[in-house]
Structure 1
Amino acid sequence: MFHHLREDINSVFARDPAARNFLEVLTNYPGLHALLAHRLSHWLWQHNLKWLARTISTLFRWLTGIEIHPGARIGRRFFIDHGMGVVIGETAEVGDDVTLYQGVTLGGTSWNKGKRHPTLEDGVIVGAGAKILGPFTVGAGAKIGSNAVITKAVPAGATVVGIPGKIVKRAEPDTEEVPTFDPERREAMRRKFGFDAYGVSQDMPDPVARSMQAMLDHMHAVDQRIEQMCNTLRKLDASYRDGQLPELRDEDFADILADVDSCCPPQEDGDKRRDAPAKPLKSSDDDGA
């Protein structure tokens, strides 16, 4: 018992730089209080003392703002940071070294009995406000971005953001082998918590900005193609007159291009949209046709 308590407290030190000493963590971390209460209520639940188990769970929900159903299965070194608003359903299963932040829901999408809540494998990080809903598995080492809504399985090592959740980063190509969490790898993961503590890192690609980049590149290609077609038509028919396109001002797109550049840098062949902004097509009056 005391071994597990020390392990839970050490996991707080490993993931929260604000933790200063043993007494502070033991007395002032609601995530730890909720976890210790769950250990007791889960034991009572397994021994068919379900009313008492639910009563203890409800009491600590009032005290900590964290609701963990006594039937949920929680692994070792589980850490809930800040904690307010966390909800973990009855059939949820949480592996070792998992981290949740405030406002996370491990919920169900059905009123049917049986497995209806998610399974989080070892080393998963779930950002603030994220909702993981349904009886599927989030693979080992996956990261769920803040406020994401996940309704289907997540492969091991992936990072998922958005509503609905979309994979924006993979640790490696999909393989059948599930990552193992040996002590050295766990320590390396702990050192990274300062960079991706909420399930995302500062260099995480923005799927919206990436889509806008693709649209702008496509528009530029279409603009060039139309200009070539107009030049060809003028050579075939001197009387052909093409209209003047509205001018696109660089300042109108400054904020968008800055966001795109920050998340999706140009490739080696250069980003023509940024290197040479598209110009309006010339009318036939300008070239004397």
Structure 2
Amino acid sequence: MACVVDIPLVEPSPPGPVQPSVLKLIREDIGCVRQRDPAARSHLETILTYPGIHAVIWYRIANRLWTGGWRFPARLLSWFGRFASNVDIHPGARIGRRFFIDHGACVVIGETAEIGDDVTLYHGVTLGGTSWFPGKRHPTLEDRVVVGAGAKILGPITVGAGSRVGANSVVIDSTPPDVTVVGIPARVVRPQLSHRRVVGRIDLDHHLMPDPVGDAIAVLLDRVEFLEARLTHMQRRARDAGTPTTQRPNGTMPQSPMESDNG
């Protein structure tokens, strides 16, 4: 007599997303340059003369070695890329597609940094850590972020998608998406969706930044002007009412008739 045993069937897990080849990623990195830099005239010129592209190419290869378990060769290749391009990208960093470093020089990207797609960095940018402990200690830049020259983004924070970081800013707190941050420490100076949108392209007008110090001074000047006008109006009313407004020799104001009667 046959014995039937129910064996639970285990459904195969769905396959994960297929990772693009290194060659495809490099082609996309080179192709996005002409969209973001009017000085780029051809792909050949971009490949031969852009140190930011050289740094990204070395990173793409070193990152595949790193994820494949070849840690020392990855670090050695990363060191060579830093020596050749003056851009230091740790091979363990996770960088998305169409990544561009304009005027590539003195850029530092730490080991646990994460960068989304269509991100643009300018020279002197640092994605640094603020802890000696292992684990996530470097920032995350979501898609379409633009970081101006000399900006420092420190710690395991997140810069929201579509945000822009002003030049020489120091970002130490996470930011919402689609905002502009400037200053030391960086603060949001434009609310969401207030800056100009470029349909189908990345907004690279990171120089169009407000001046928060100038705005504060303008508010103070307006307040001083209002108070001076109010004081002039009160003096005119007192003069029309016959109340003396001249000061005594000791610098105090004379008493009003009501105060004199009470005295």
User: By the TM > 0.5 criterion, same fold?
Assistant: yes
Q: Is structure 2 residue 16 aligned with structure 1 residue 4?
A: no
1:1-289 mapped onto 2 (5 Å cutoff): 1=21, 2-172=23-193, 188-190=200-202, 192-193=203-204, 196=205, 199-201=206-208, 204-234=209-239, 238-242=243-247
Deviations 1:125-169 (A, max 9, x none): 001101111111100000011111111111101011122212121
Give the drift of 1:20: 1.3
Matched residue type, 1:148 = S
Partner of 1:251: none
User: What is the TM-score of this pair, normalised by structure 2?
Assistant: 0.79
Give the drift of 1:200: 2.8
What secondary structure, in the 3-state scheme, does the structure 2 residue paired with 1:132 have? strand
Matched residue type, 1:110 = S
The answer (yes or no) to whether the contact 1:230–1:242 under 8 Å persists in 2 is no
Give the drift of 1:8: 1.3
Change (3 A) 1:186 1:223: closer
What is the number of residues matched between the two proteins? 225
Any stretches of 5+ residues in structure 2 without a counterpart? 1-20, 249-263
Any stretches of 5+ residues in structure 1 without a counterpart? 174-184, 244-289
Residues in 2 aligned to 1:152 and 1:228: alpha-carbon distance in whole angstroms: 47
Give the drift of 1:114: 1.2
Give the drift of 1:239: 3.4
What secondary structure, in the 3-state scheme, does the structure 2 residue paired with 1:87 have? strand
The answer (yes or no) to whether the contact 1:106–1:132 under 8 Å persists in 2 is yes
Matched residue type, 2:201 = M
Give the drift of 1:93: 0.3
Matched residue type, 2:29 = D
Residues in 2 aligned to 1:242 and 1:72: alpha-carbon distance in whole angstroms: 72
Give the drift of 1:212: 0.9
Residues in 1 aligned to 2:38 and 2:235: alpha-carbon distance in whole angstroms: 63
What secondary structure, in the 3-state scheme, does the structure 2 residue paired with 1:240 have? coil
What secondary structure, in the 3-state scheme, does the structure 2 residue paired with 1:200 have? coil
Larger Rg: 2
Question: Relative to total residues, which structure has the larger helix share, 1 or 2?
Answer: 1
The answer (yes or no) to whether the contact 2:52–2:100 under 8 Å persists in 1 is yes
Residues in 2 aligned to 1:121 and 1:155: alpha-carbon distance in whole angstroms: 10
Percent identity (aligned): 50
Residues in 2 aligned to 1:160 and 1:26: alpha-carbon distance in whole angstroms: 32
Partner of 1:282: none
Residues in 2 aligned to 1:145 and 1:104: alpha-carbon distance in whole angstroms: 11
Give the drift of 1:35: 0.8
The answer (yes or no) to whether the contact 2:26–2:60 under 8 Å persists in 1 is no
User: What is the TM-score of this pair, normalised by structure 1?
Assistant: 0.73
Matched residue type, 1:222 = L
